[in-house]
Amino acid sequence: MHEELENFERNHIWDLVEPHQTEQSEIGSSGFSSKEGIDYEETFAPVACLEAIRILLAFAASKGFKLQQMDVKSAFLNGFIEEESARFSDRVYKLRKALYGLKQAPRAWYVRLKSFLLKSGFVMGSVDKTLFLLSCGGDTLIIYVDDTIFGGSSHALVSSFAKQMSREFEMNLMGELQFFLELQIKQGPEGTFVHQAKYTRDILKKFDMGDSKPMTTPMSTNMALDADEDGEAVDQKEFRGMIGSLRTRRRPGRTFDSRSAFVRVTGRLLGLLTVKRGFSDADHAGCRIDRKSTSGTYQLLGTSLVSWSSHKQASVSLSTTEAEYIAAASCCSQLLWMKATLSDFGLRFGKISLLVDSTSAISVAKNPVLHSRTKHIDVRFHFLRDHYEKWDIVHVASENQLADIFTKPLEFRAFVRLRGELGVLQVEGVDNALIKGEIESQWTGLIALLV
């Protein structure tokens, strides 16, 4: 507490002044008492998404520089604030900077850091507003303001930036980036290894499943998840906590044997090698309860997996063609975002390959004559047609459809083959190996960098 109060003094958080004659609002020790339009206006502050971080890791690996991390002490206390604070007796604490707990505090800190970076010559990303880049004499410096990740092609440029930040803010240099949003990161000369071994163990322990045996595949091909109308209801809070811990976009609509499925899925959250293609696939009417289809997509940067999704479609598809078409539209949307994001890194691409294993879905995308057969499909998915000429949408044999791993259970050999194609490694004792530096020997011939 004393340290926090000293931070208030050093950052000159407030001034004790005479009260205004006009009526002032009162704000207690919590921002929950703040009222919109009176105590605060705008609260939004952008945060980095995991896909953007994986792209950053791949870009840094391809350029051969290591990302570092810094911690700004009491970051929110650096954000200037325009609103005034509460009135107490005959004095008013007029806030100069934000306090933790105020709704506008995250935005105030973001605006402060953004202003500093822009004045320092950085350019803000046109798509990702947490990305800032500085070009100097052929060298590049990148910073993600979310958790302050930075790196560059020149050691002198990186060192100069760290000193500049230290002069402006009270901060700690944390060294090489090792942890970010539950990801454990190891940067090496051949590439970057990302895994979630600690996070996996933590969530298994949290739900009393630390002694569970690992499985070779996420789910058995013989298992069908049906609604068990006569079974005992599971603990909704625990179940939702399990699913939320997986950090996936997919949310089951009904309860099932949550513990069994949970152990199998977490067993695969082990290793991912990050170093312009996109694959899309669909499992038509795969859900036995509501007969909705599952879309599976993933996107590559060079040979590095940077983005993927597996989610149930919002409506029932009347045919395999429709299900595949919707999945392809979803993949196209993500590729558009990636292309725009990569332009901020100075990377430009021509046609990007979108690989689909349904010739009928490709026909619907390129042939407007078939519109009469697809009137029932939501108009938002037809934007795929508008981009057909800009993309190289090609057919891929089903056995080579790598997105198949995200749509349905696979037998062991197929699962292992596709997992390898995605660049995911099964490494035993990954934590100890990383600490001892022994894992680098396993990277030879396995790590693909951005090409």
- The model's pLDDT over 118-152, given as tens digits with 9 standing for 90+, comes to 999 999 999 889 999 999 888 899 999 877 899 99
Whether the per-residue pLDDT at 110 is higher than 50: the answer is yes
Q: How far apart are CA 338 and CA 356, in angstroms?
A: 18
| Coil, helix or strand at residue 323 | helix
Compute CA distances 108 → 10, 51, 56, 70, 123, whole Å: 18, 25, 25, 19, 19
Average pLDDT over residues 24-28: 55
Position 95 scores a pLDDT of 74
Contacts of 76 (CB under 8 A, 6+ apart): 98, 99, 100, 105, 106, 108, 109
Residue 405: exposure state from Cβ atoms within 10 A (0-12, 13-18, ≥19): buried
CATH level 2 (architecture), domain 270-443: 2-Layer Sandwich (3.30)
Whether the per-residue pLDDT at 82 is higher than 60: the answer is yes
Pairing of strands 139-144, 131-136: antiparallel
% of the chain exceeding 70 in pLDDT: 78
Alpha helices, DSSP H, located in 137-290: 155-168, 197-206, 236-245, 258-266
- pLDDT digit string (tens) for 28-38? 555 466 777 77
Find residue 175's DSSP bridge partners: 69
Compute CA distances 163 → 80, 114, 153, 384, whole Å: 22, 17, 17, 48
Q: Which two tokens stand for residue 200?
A: 């996996």
Find residue 395's DSSP bridge partners: 356
Strands of 353-356's sheet, edge to edge? 304-312, 294-301, 277-283, 353-356, 392-395
Give the residue extent of every domain in the chain: 2-30+39-181, 199-264, 270-443
User: For the ranges 202-216, 366-380, 413-427, which has the lowest average pLDDT?
Assistant: 366-380
The 10 Å Cβ neighbour count of residue 156 is: 10
Position 435 scores a pLDDT of 38
Instruction: Provide φ and ψ at 65, rounded to 5°.
Output: -115, 155
User: Residue 256: which pLDDT band, with cuts at 50, 70 and 90?
Assistant: very low
Contacts of 370 (CB under 8 A, 6+ apart): 363, 364
- pLDDT digit string (tens) for 287-315? 888 899 999 998 988 778 888 998 899 88
Q: Which two tokens stand for residue 437?
A: 């530096």
| Coil, helix or strand at residue 136 | strand
Position 85 scores a pLDDT of 52
Residue type, position 350, single letter: G
| Coil, helix or strand at residue 232 | coil
